[in-house]
Structure 1
Amino acid sequence: MGRLSLAEILGEKGIVKLLLGNEAVARGAIEAGIDVAAGYPGTPSTEIIEALIPAAKELGFYVEWSTNEKVALEVALGAAISGLRGLAVMKHVGLNVAADTFMSIGYTGVRGGLVIVSADDPNCHSSQSEQDNRIYGMHAYIPVIEPYAPQEAKDATIYAFDLSEKYSTAIMLRLTTRISHTRGPVVFGDLRRRRTKGNFIKDPSRWVLLPVFSRKLHVKALERISSIAKEFSNFPLNKIVQMNSSDAGIIASGVAYGYVMDALNMLNLRDKVSVLKLATPYPIPNDLIISFLKKLKRVLIVEELEPVVELQVKDLVVREGISVEIKGKEYVPRVLELNYVKVAKAIAEFLGLQFIPPRVEEENLPPRPPVFCPGCPHRATYYIIKRAVASEKVNAVYLGDIGCYTLGVNPPFRATDTSYCMGSSIGLSMGIFRATDQFPIATIGDSTFFHAGIPALINSIYNRSGILVVVFDNLITAMTGFQPHPGTGVSALGQKARTIAIEDIAKAIGVNFVKVIDPYNINESVKIMREAIAFVLKNKEPAVVVSSRECALRAYRRILKSGKSIKRYFIDENVCTKCLTCINTFACPAIMIKDNKVVINSDLCIGCGVCKQVCPYNAIKEVA
């Protein structure tokens, strides 16, 4: 299914729609009267802003794709301290980028409403870590709400805005991949009227975090959290689902609640174990939990990843002197995402029952790792880099970044030796330059360059580091679904915007060697890449090569829509020597071996023509 239409996201009260959890959050924000929303694309969070965009045009609220998550949070915060409702959206690792601002918000609070969506990614489906951002909430004194299904995600968003305004605090809405990308029925509610304009009221003792003010604000933050903990005992999404005569109970937080109920059904224990459903992992609802624990002798806490709830409950038990045994990560895995089988195993072990997991027949299928699409300019760019490196005979280390181009780690290129986080490639390159005699090459995407690459590039000029920076510019934020960025010339709302050229930035900050190549022009590009390497070796200062060509998927769709024909290529078997250069060094998935012949699959080929330049025997020809 594609993105939500305007009619779908703005449906009338009472209708039921099958929505992604992310889309449900967007609908909740609209029902809450959102004024300003900002985010940076990142799976599994992207669909929230995408769903808000058509509604923003209709209802008049503001939505943007920001250059990074810190900026997005500050845009939403600016609205919230002016008395409006702001929404900041990011994936879990994006909160690392925004952490400086996030921590300060815990002290200052807000005047309007501020909801910060952190879409966590247990199992690392599309991320470099499984970090549990509920811990960030604890660290910053920012309450965390964690829904377990799409309907609850919508409701939780509305509650979050209301609580934010009531207590003058930001609220973190913590999602996980299975909530963000699960579809479920969602009942639509009323659309609130949004405010027209806010008003920032000057108050340095609150908004200016000088030490003399921060010390007092710290005390207020603790008092605020204590009050919210009391409120959470009556929070509608926290409830004792079932209480029976057994001495055993389960506290399930967020998505784990669904797994617990499924597991109890599987174990035929649905009516034999007491269950407390928790949607507020920080601060925990002390009074509600105490009333639950006092009727039990042993309790298992089920939550994904870190023991956030478990540690708070254990602390509560000691402080209140409650005689109950608390277990959690002794039985529930601390890594990867949960499912009902893992949870059933944990419950059975906790209760001393035998459990035989259902047998799942594994299909004997070959692995299919992701690859560059046919015609992807990144494939050509890596081919160009490798040829230039071989010609210049340098011992290259390839410092990678986050984007489609991270696939350069795979054969045949093997041109990604590191990949830590957004923008890390350039900084790491400078460290390699200082520490070794190897030749560091930073590979970074266009959106990532705007996100986090510019400060590091400035540092490379200031501290004169001999590095080559190759910017993989496919003119869009492709990996997350073709979102615009400052180099695209269009805003999130589809309005014309200033186009900021990467090469102009590089020149403006003092890079002396800046060249733009078209990766579809192999020989000319290899020549320029070799010049860049020679420049770095000679001058011991950075060089920047921007490899610019539109994402092949977008280009292909654009050509088809225009009604133009796609160029087609074939391999002349009378000329082909089966040297397999096209497969072993270029690896376009449209080229394959069939009936002992090297052929081009016309259904996959998009007509880029790069393979024609790669073939050393001129066996690849354009179809007349």
Structure 2
Amino acid sequence: MWTRRGSLGATLPKYSEVLSEEGKTEIMLGNAAIARGLLEGGLQFASAYPGTPSTEITEALSYFASKKGVPYVEWSTNEKVALEAALGAAISGLKAFTGMKHVGLNVAADPFFSSAYLGVDGALVVVSADDPWMWSSQNEQDNRIYGLHAFVPVIEPRGVQEAKEAARLALEWSYALKRPFLFRITTRIAHSRAPITLGKINLEELKAEPRFRRDPSKWTLIPEFARRHRVELLRFWEEVKGELSDFPLNSVEGSGEIAVLASGIGYVYAKEAVKDLEIPVTLIGISTPVPLPDRVIEKALEHDKVIVIEEGEPVVEAQLREEAQKRGSKTEIFGKMDGTLRRYGELDLAEVREAIGRTYGMEVERPKVREVPKLPPRPPVLCPGCPYRSYFYALKRAVNKARVEPIYSGDIGCYSLGITPPFEVQDIIIDMGASIGAGGGMAQAFREDPKRLIIAIIGDSTFYHSGVTSLINVVYNQAPLLTIILDNYTTAMTGHQPHPGVGIGAGGRPAKEIDMESVVKGIGVEKVLVADAFSIKDSEEKTLEAIKYVIEQRKPAVVIAKGACSLVALAHARRKGIKVPQYYVEESKCTACGICYKAFNCPAIIKKEDGKAWIDPSLCVGCGQCEQICPFGAFVIKERVPEWDQLLRTAKPRW
């Protein structure tokens, strides 16, 4: 969840390879290659909301724009707004991109479906980065299904090396057909590296020259016009099946009695498996899974057997089975729908090799893997010096003093780690913004229970993303909900991108800072308290005051707990030459009570064999939280550095 790049990421990450000259070969991250492809295709507008595994596409575009002045790039408040912004630019004749992780398209589904009806006057490529096996997500979904549902063509690159070219083609085809395209990748393409040969970027093409052709019958989706759009969309859908047959990144290799139809990253595994098995098959590799092109269907159904290799749901397989039934084909079709391949998780070479071999009639043994000793569990933890840790500690103390029975409604962010001991302050986690939305519903359900307190915990970027409207609902319906907004001045979990509360835009350009306290008060919350997250005493007192208000008044209250991400503060300190202080344990005062390593759980504090605490100097960031929690004064600072204390409370990413 947190990478070394992120730990140094208080400045704009460098993607210098996107600036390289035409003809040069660079080792590129898949997402950076996609960004380069969009630039080679003449991209003029980019909008996105950060979300793993999609974030680096927009970061790379931001880096390019910060050096060249074009194209326009923005971090939007959420995925719906990002897609609407890109659609607006595409309606204005620009070549536009919007990017998000798979669950982001759920947020953006409304304008996505509408974009299919409207079409565009420029180009619109919507990148969905799916996350099979949920490496950094709450669910697993295959967004190619959105393409089927909305009648939006889907392009899916067949590996990192084709990602750049596929992105360029997606933009060009969208511009030519005047229709939005969905560009679907998965984690392995997004976060793998490969040598990429670069094409030409024409900076003049990246400059926006907007136009708007006023035509209400084209651009307004009132029922009268939408009905006509529906008929036109269905006609387009049938026509594009033929046009996608000529997509340059589809291929047919070899020949045999069985066909292997592989889409996206599945093609890489299938090609390797066929080579390893040394069997004669027809390998059909496609980058256009939705709609399945006519000639691909015809070629596949020429064979006695077809096995479909794809990551995610059986999207290609279902279309092929439907067409086989319509045409009365006798071809046997294998894939995920009959259990030949798993319907969950990521594909891997061993599984694909075994599945192709079985379809061919071979007995294929899985490679023997040497057993390795089991490693001790290493659950993810909040970083040393994280303000969330000290606030969670203060929150638990305040709840205990108030003698209430809490239910914690959690959210998506670093603070999701509050689910783990010793804090356990995330009882439910649903989706971004649901801490307040679901928390409000729970608060109404338990309204008559004077001892039950519902506490919503949300981060600053998530609050701007989808917490504001939820809080409006809570205030409007006067739900007795305590909302905690943890404000660390950044979108930390995805790599320290800016958000509306920091006054910085994509690429470091100046932006208007939206003051969180003013927003909360403007919504109508009557009880708003701002706490210093690094001060356990202040946080505990403010939180206890808010708890009593909610319990006694049966009205909503908000605590905004402020404190910088320690990783950002460290980056500032290195740059400015500010010394980071260190704490040590005075052995004579340590009683081995265990509060610091059991109830507080700072990674820098280690339990020694005698039960006493020891601070690892390589991890300590001098935040002073341990000094506040020890009842015996055993934690001592070597030298106080006021500038460091100030950084911990104010540092924002320097983009």
Give the TM-score band, short-chain normalised. over 0.9
The number of aligned residues is 619
Where relative contact order (Cα < 8 A, 6+ residues apart) is larger, the structure is 2
2:32 counterpart residue number: 23
Q: What's the RMSD between the two structures over aligned residues?
A: 1.4
Question: Does residue 232 of structure 1 match 2:240?
Answer: no
Q: Deviations over 1:285-337 (max 9, x none)?
A: 1123203321x101111111211101111111122232211111120110001
Instruction: Provide the residue aligned with 1:273 in structure 2.
Output: 281
Quote the Cα distance in structure 1 between the aligned partners of 2:276 and 2:613: 52
Q: Aligned pair 1:343/2:352, yes or no?
A: yes
Q: Distance in 2 between matches of 1:267 and 1:381?
A: 57
Measured after TM superposition, the shift of residue 5 of structure 1 is 4.3
Deviates more, 1:348-357 or 1:491-500: 348-357
2:327 counterpart of 1:320? yes
In the TM superposition, residue 366 of structure 1 has moved relative to its aligned partner by: 1.0
Taking the aligned partners of 1:84 and 1:313, their CA distance within structure 2 comes to: 35
Task: Quote the residue 1:260 is aligned against.
Answer: 270
Residue among 470, 473, 478 paired with 1:459: 473
What's the secondary structure of 2:380's corresponding residue? coil
- 1:289 has 2:301 as partner: no
Q: Secondary structure at the match of 1:493?
A: helix
User: What does residue 642 of structure 2 align with?
Assistant: none
**For residues 506 and 69 of structure 2, what CA distance do their matches in structure 1 show?**
15
Letter in 1 for 2:324: V
Partner SS, residue 108 of structure 2: helix
1:527 matched to 2:541? The reply is yes
Compute the displacement of 1:7 (Å).
Answer: 4.7
- 1:189-204 correspondence to structure 2 within 5 Å: 189-192=199-202, 193-204=205-216
**Is the counterpart of residue 569 in structure 1 residue 569 in structure 2?**
no
- Could you list the per-position Cα deviations for residues 145-191 of structure 1 after superposition, in whole angstroms to 9, with x for gaps in the alignment? 00022221111111111111221100011000000001011111111
Match of 1:585 among 591, 599, 603: 599
Q: Read off the aligned partner of 1:313 and give its amino acid letter.
A: L
- Quick one: which of 529, 534, 540 aligns to 2:554? 540
**1:603 aligns to what?**
618
Q: What's the CA shift for 1:6?
A: 6.4
C-alpha change, 1:6 and 1:412, in structure 2 (3 Å) is closer
Residues 131 and 137 in structure 2, CA contact (< 8 A), matched pair in contact too: yes
| Aligned residue type for 2:389 | R
In 2, Cα distance between the equivalents of 1:198 and 1:151? 33
Deviations 1:193-233 (A, max 9, x none): 23541111111112111111111101111111212110111
Matching of residues 412-491 of structure 1 within 5 Å: 412-436=422-446, 437=449, 438-491=452-505
How far, CA to CA, are the matches of 1:362 and 1:230 in structure 2? Answer: 51
Asked if the contact 1:406–1:416 (Cα under 8 Å) also holds between the matched residues in 2, the reply is: yes
Confirm or deny that 1:355 pairs with 2:369. no
For residues 373 and 391 of structure 1, the distance between their equivalents in structure 2, rounded to whole angstroms, comes to 27
CA distance in 2, matches of 1:570, 1:100: 55
Instruction: Please report how far the alpha carbon of residue 22 of structure 1 lies from its aligned counterpart in structure 2 after TM superposition.
Output: 0.4
Question: What is the distance in 2 between the residues matched to 1:465 and 1:242?
Answer: 65
In structure 1, what is the Cα distance between the partners aligned to 2:581 and 2:207?
53
Partner-residue secondary structure (3-state), 1:382: helix
Distance in 1 of aligned mates of 2:578 and 2:46:
38
Please report how far the alpha carbon of residue 595 of structure 1 lies from its aligned counterpart in structure 2 after TM superposition: 4.2
Letter of the structure 1 residue corresponding to residue 305 of structure 2: R
Distance apart, 1:495 and its partner CA:
2.0
After superposing the two structures, state which structure 1 stretch, 597-606 or 285-294, moved more: 285-294
One-letter amino acid of the structure 2 residue matched with residue 367 of structure 1:
P
| 1:220 matched to 2:232 | yes
Question: Could you list the per-position Cα deviations for residues 6-27 of structure 1 after superposition, in whole angstroms to 9, with x for gaps in the alignment?
Answer: 6521211111111111001100
TM-score, normalized by length of structure 2? 0.93
CA distance in 1, matches of 2:220, 2:208: 26
Asked whether the 8 Å contact 1:118–1:133 carries over to 2, the reply is yes
- 1:80-99 to structure 2, matched below 5 A, reads 80-99=90-109
Q: Secondary structure at the match of 1:252?
A: strand
Q: Distance in 1 between matches of 2:31 and 2:15?
A: 16
The answer (yes or no) to whether the contact 2:158–2:286 under 8 Å persists in 1 is no
| Partner residue of 1:13 out of 5, 22, 36 | 22
Q: Which amino acid aligns with 1:487?
A: G
Indicate if the aligned counterparts of 1:240 and 1:292 stay in contact, CA closer than 8 A: no
- Describe the superposition over 1:528-577 as per-residue Cα deviations: whole angstroms up to 9, x where unpaired: 10000000001111110001011011111211221121121111111111
State the SS of the aligned residue for 2:37.
helix
Counterpart in the other structure of 2:419: 409
Distance 1:96 1:292 in 2: 32
Report if aligned partners of 2:17, 2:28 keep a CA contact under 8 Å in 1: no
Q: Give 2:130's match in structure 1, choosing from 95, 99, 120.
A: 120
Instruction: Output aligned runs, 1:61-80, within 5 Å.
Output: 61-80=71-90
What is the Cα deviation at residue 256 of structure 1? 0.5
List aligned pairs for 1:96-115, cutoff 5 A. Answer: 96-115=106-125
Find the aligned partners of 1:456 and 1:419 in 2 and give their Cα distance. Answer: 15
For structure 1, the residue ranges without an aligned partner over 5 or more in a row are none
Residue aligned with 1:158, SS: helix
Deviations 1:64-106 (A, max 9, x none): 0000011111111111111110000111000011000001011
Percent of counterpart pairs with the same letter?
46
* C-alpha separation in 1, matches of 2:467 and 2:137: 19
Provide the C-alpha distance between the structure 2 equivalents of 1:396 and 1:172, rounded to a whole number of angstroms.
43
1:183 maps to a residue whose letter is R
Are the counterparts in 2 of residues 84 and 195 from structure 1 also a CA contact under 8 Å?
no
CA distance in 1, matches of 2:460, 2:16: 33
Counterpart selection for 1:303 from 297, 304, 310: 310
Which stretch of the first structure deviates more once superposed, 185-194 or 204-213?
Answer: 185-194
Q: 8 Å contact 1:301–1:326 — kept in the other structure? A: yes
Which residue number in structure 2 is paired with residue 553 of structure 1? Answer: 567
- Partner AA of 1:287 in structure 2: R
